[in-house]
Structure formats: structure tokens, C-alpha cells
Amino acid sequence: MIGLRIKYFREKKNYSLTELAKRSGVSKSYLSQIERNLQINPSLQLLSKLAKSLECSVDDLLGHDNEQVAIKEYLDPDWTVLVKEAIVEGLSKEEFKELSEFIRYRNLKTK
């Protein structure tokens, strides 16, 4: 979830990955991996650099007080409706993951 919050604050500042990388001194590829949750345990030193560049606190990036607010603001309202509908219709997390994997596979196959 740290990656989602970093992306939220980056987009809120209208920074590209490249711009945030330059401002923070963190490599663009590493930032991308964090935002995609491929790297899930960045150091406090790195989070401090990002927080300073994004003009927020490390606590904001960690989501100690505002995790739900950041997620709600980041999510498109249509996604919220779709997820709620899926839950009401009984779609499990596992089924959702399976559907997502199928779509990724289908998209790779059609390329």
C-alpha cells in the first residue's frame, strides 16, 4: 500500500515518475517498482527523501492516519461502484485475482 500512497501524492503534485526521481534522488526504476508494489519495504531514508519532495510527511506515505482518505481520493468513483457491485454479487478476492490474471494473459496473447 505504500506504493499506492506514493503514487497518489505524486499525481496530486502532477509529477511524473521522472520528475519525482530527479527531485528526490531516487532512481526512476526503483520508484516504479515501489508504486507497482514490487518493492514493498523501502527504507525510512528513502521515504524521507520522497516525503520532502512530495511536501508531505513520512507518516502520510505510511498511511498512519489517512490511508482510507488517500485511497478514496485516488480511486475513481466508478471503480468503487464496480468493486461494491462485485462484492454484493458474491465475487471473492480469489475470483477477482483469477479474473485479473486471465485478462492479463489474454492481453499478452493478443499482442
pLDDT digit string, tens, across residues 58-102: 988 887 655 555 566 666 778 778 888 888 888 888 898 898 899
Pinpoint the alpha helices (H) of the chain: 2-12, 17-24, 28-35, 44-54, 58-62, 67-74, 77-88, 93-110
Question: Rounded to two decimals, what is the model's pTM?
Answer: 0.59
Tell me which CATH code domain 2-74 carries.
1.10.260.40
